[in-house]
Amino acid sequence: MSRLRFLAVWISAFALLAGAGAGGLLLVDAVLAPEDERQFSRLLALGGDILFVFGVILFVASGFLATWLVRAYLTPVRRLAESTWLAAGGNPAHRAEPQGPAEVRELAAAVNALAGRHEALLGAVDERIRQAHADLDAEKSRLAALMSELASGVLVCTADGRILLYNEHARRLFSGAGAPGYIGLGRSVFSLIDRPLVVHALDQLRDRLAHGEAGPVSVFLASAGPSRLLRARMAPIMGTAAAPADPREPSGFVLLMDDVGEDVASLEQRDRLIERLIESTRVAVASIRAAAENLENFPQMGRERQAQFTAIIGAEASRLTGELDRATRGHADLARSHWSPEQMRAADLVAVARRRVEAQLGLAVASGDIDESLWVSVDSYSMAQSLCYLVRRVHDELGGRDVRFDVAASGRHARIGLQWTGARPAAGYSTAWETEPLGARGEASPLTLRDVLDRHRAEAWHEDDPATQGGRFRLLLPLAAPVRGRALPAKVSRPEYYDFDLFSQPGPASALDERRLAELAYTAFDTETTGLEPAAGDEIISIGAVRMLNGRLLAAEVFDQLVDPRRPISPASAKIHGIGPEMLAGQPTLDKVLPAFRQFCEDTVLVGHNAAFDLRFLQLKEAATGVRFDQPVLDTLLLSAVLHKDLGEHQLETIAGRFGVSVTGRHTALGDAMVTGEIFLRMIPLLAERGIVTLRQAREASQRTFHARIRY
């Protein structure tokens, strides 16, 4: 309540009381007889001082009256109004607190009843909307699931390069050391892949579309960081809601990407291998041929000369043999690396085969000596199927009993043994066994044992085991390097990797200030620090941030980084954020973290709670790091003061409670950033109700609040 308004109430009360007194006097004067009237006038003249005192008392009393009126009626009514706005806008579950005199409390009860109905109505509408969108959501989920399971990276972009969708595989392709930029909804694809490449591919698509080609695809190679080479296939997206007037102009494109770095390296290796083989063979054969032709064409040459040419032929033939052996080994290595099946322990392969035999044939297979340390590179399905097939034929045709597997090392191979007690296969068995389909009971397979062996560069044969009354198959599989603790990427719960609303978002060219709050991209951020005095040398120890787009908090697109402050942490602040020196040891320093954070929040509006505090820390580092944060900033503390200046407290927890935002991870940078982001998203419609629609309006309204005057 402003002082001016209080003064107005006071003056009004005084005028009312004074007017009532004067009116009373005039009334008395009017009804008195002339004699009494004179008497009364004399009395008034004599009692002037008393009248003055009476006037002062009246003035003071009117002050009290004004205070009472303001406290009892105006303030509760005003609070009630703000509560009503809140319930009508940001938080339908909010209820006014009944206070003040009975009439105002009754009004509050009526407002609450109305808010209750409003909330119930909203709930019903929400439910109908939810039902109406259920099919769409299911479809989106199926799409997201499909995308996440694709073995290729997928990026869907608008024609101007903004990312509408990406899958987990794409995220992995563009993450890790040396990644060119951040992948994220609404971000530009040009920060990930060179612009000229993308533009060229898109131009090719346009050309081919213009020539009436249906479903054109453009293929190009692009690097993703220093060590990754991607093969990208681009297909156009035609005719969405935002499609331009020309129906042949794509409104966006899909990029399917595969990491082909290894393939390309392996092809290069193969080329080198072949080249070397050709050259060395030509040289050796040239020597042999020349020597042989000399021997043939010049039979009259001396014995010594003959011996010389004969020796040349022998030496070159040996050299040629060596070169061919080397090429054969090199080719086998390459073929294995090119066909990239899964790498697994030979022991696990045998265990899979045993389970399969038990399930399909109902036979128990024992395991003999198993070398657990051997790794093989196999298609485990077809190889286990092959082992199962062998057991079946041994059992069915040879009456094999006590079947057991063993695994041992044999040079560059793992040797899998299959032993049994019973008859041995007849001579010539191998033709039939190797060339008939593997399919076991009720299971068809086009593959034969020979196919599977060839594919694995493996061999199998039967050898008589004099030690037992039975037979033994040997299977030799090339060894693979062991796979050590490769961590699976953490699964993000329901990642929000798509946002097709971006199709209808205006381009980046329009000035941010005049853009509507509801359509901007934001980064909500927070920092934890060694203490509260940036100017006195306190440092940032943690930065957390989350991106927001089209009214959604993108929980999968976060920045969460601890920072080594290179100075002690004050015990008071350590108590708040719980970050101790041991957690910060080995973390990057701020000069490494700030450029990454700057890149993360590029082209977005920063949103912080009491952002002036965090920004002061960042500003103090500008000179040292050369990283400048010059994008627009909005502060939920100031915006809260804009929206609810009479609701008192504007601390993060209080506001969160007011907006019905649940608080988790409070006093971690990322946790606070997320709470701040959620609050901000709920503020946008409330601000709009007050006519604050654009970024400029929000910034100007923030500047006018009392809190904006705080400096750090």
Partner 1 sequence: MAKRVLIAEDEPNIVTSLEFLMSQVGHEFRTAVNGEDALRLAAEFRPDLMLLDVMLPLKSGFDVCRTVRGDEALKKMKIVMLTAKGRETEVAKGLALGADAYITKPFATRELLDTVKRLLGD
Is 308 a binder of partner 1 (CB under 8 A)? yes
Among residues 54, 298, 339, 461, the one that binds partner 1 under rule CB under 8 A: 298
| H or E element that contains 254 | strand 252-259
Is 306 a binder of partner 1 (CB under 8 A)? no
φ/ψ bin of 407: left (φ > 0), alpha (ψ from -120 to 50), beta (otherwise): beta
Which residue in 628, 706, 543 sits closest to 2, CA to CA? 706
3-state SS of 386-444?
A: HHHHHHHHHHHHHCCEEEEEEEEEECCEEEEEEEEECCCCCCCHHHHHHHCECCCCCCC
Give the full edge-to-edge strand order of the sheet including 413-421.
366-370, 401-410, 413-421, 470-478, 459-465
Stretch that binds partner 1, among 89-97, 181-189, 296-304, 642-650 (CB under 8 A): 296-304
Total Cβ atoms within 10 A of residue 441: 7
Is 77 a binder of partner 1 (CB under 8 A)? no
Among residues 22, 285, 364, 366, the one that binds partner 1 under rule CB under 8 A: 285
For residues 281 and 619, which CB has a smaller minimum distance to partner 1 in the complex? Answer: 281
| H or E element that contains 619 | helix 611-620
Residue type, 90: G
For residues 279 and 396, which CB has a smaller minimum distance to partner 1 in the complex? Answer: 279
| H or E element that contains 40 | helix 34-46
- How far, in Å, CA of 210 to CA of 284, rounded? 56
Is 312 a binder of partner 1 (CB under 8 A)? yes
* Strands 605-608 and 401-410, sheet pairing: unpaired
Question: With contact defined as beta carbons under 8 Å apart, do 647 and 607 qualify?
Answer: no
Cβ-based neighbours of 110, under 8 Å, separated by 6 or more: none
Is 282 a binder of partner 1 (CB under 8 A)? yes
Is 704 a binder of partner 1 (CB under 8 A)? no
Stretch that binds partner 1, among 95-103, 133-141, 286-294, 555-563 (CB under 8 A): 286-294
Among 118, 331, 667, 707, the one annotated catalytic: 667
Is 569 a binder of partner 1 (CB under 8 A)? no
Cβ-based neighbours of 617, under 8 Å, separated by 6 or more: 527, 529, 534, 538, 539, 540
- How far, in Å, CA of 188 to CA of 161, rounded? 5
Shortest distance, position 263 Cβ to partner 1, whole Å: 24
Shortest distance, position 271 Cβ to partner 1, whole Å: 12
Stretch that binds partner 1, among 238-246, 305-313, 424-432, 635-643 (CB under 8 A): 305-313
* SS3 state at 245: coil
For residues 297 and 662, which CB has a smaller minimum distance to partner 1 in the complex? Answer: 297
| Residue 264 φ then ψ, to 5° | -65, -45
For residues 308 and 445, which CB has a smaller minimum distance to partner 1 in the complex? Answer: 308
Among residues 36, 139, 203, 293, the one that binds partner 1 under rule CB under 8 A: 293
* Strands 218-223 and 366-370, sheet pairing: unpaired
Among residues 38, 42, 272, 289, the one that binds partner 1 under rule CB under 8 A: 289
Among residues 67, 266, 269, 294, the one that binds partner 1 under rule CB under 8 A: 294
Is 248 a binder of partner 1 (CB under 8 A)? no
Stretch that binds partner 1, among 201-209, 276-284, 384-392, 569-577 (CB under 8 A): 276-284
Among residues 137, 194, 279, 649, the one that binds partner 1 under rule CB under 8 A: 279
Tokens of 709: 């005057």
Question: With contact defined as beta carbons under 8 Å apart, do 27 and 80 qualify?
Answer: no
| Range list of H helices, 362-379 | none
Active site residue 118: no
Is 272 a binder of partner 1 (CB under 8 A)? no
Shortest distance, position 312 Cβ to partner 1, whole Å: 5
Is 278 a binder of partner 1 (CB under 8 A)? yes
| H or E element that contains 234 | strand 229-237
Rounded to whole angstroms, the maximal C-alpha distance in the chain is 179
Residue that is written with structure tokens 């392709």 in the block: 173
* Strands 218-223 and 229-237, sheet pairing: antiparallel
For residues 242 and 292, which CB has a smaller minimum distance to partner 1 in the complex? Answer: 292
Among residues 167, 191, 287, 610, the one that binds partner 1 under rule CB under 8 A: 287
Is 599 a binder of partner 1 (CB under 8 A)? no
Residue that is written with structure tokens 């009017």 in the block: 30
Is 283 a binder of partner 1 (CB under 8 A)? yes
Is 274 a binder of partner 1 (CB under 8 A)? no
Stretch that binds partner 1, among 27-35, 266-274, 284-292, 375-383 (CB under 8 A): 284-292
DSSP state of 191: G
Total Cβ atoms within 10 A of residue 548: 25
Q: How many residues bind partner 1 (CB under 8 A)?
A: 24
Stretch that binds partner 1, among 79-87, 287-295, 341-349, 482-490 (CB under 8 A): 287-295
Among residues 168, 259, 316, 539, the one that binds partner 1 under rule CB under 8 A: 316
Among residues 288, 521, 611, 674, the one that binds partner 1 under rule CB under 8 A: 288
Is 18 a binder of partner 1 (CB under 8 A)? no
Shortest distance, position 332 Cβ to partner 1, whole Å: 25
Q: What share of the chain is helix, strand, coil (3-state, %, to 5)?
A: 55, 20, 30
Stretch that binds partner 1, among 40-48, 277-285, 446-454, 530-538 (CB under 8 A): 277-285
Shortest distance, position 284 Cβ to partner 1, whole Å: 8
Is 221 a binder of partner 1 (CB under 8 A)? no
Which residue in 602, 617, 607 sits closest to 541, CA to CA? 617
Shortest distance, position 292 Cβ to partner 1, whole Å: 9
Is 271 a binder of partner 1 (CB under 8 A)? no
Residues that bind partner 1 (CB under 8 A): 275, 278-280, 282-283, 285-291, 293-294, 297-298, 301, 305, 308-309, 312, 315-316
Where in the sequence numbering do the catalytic residues fall?
Answer: 667
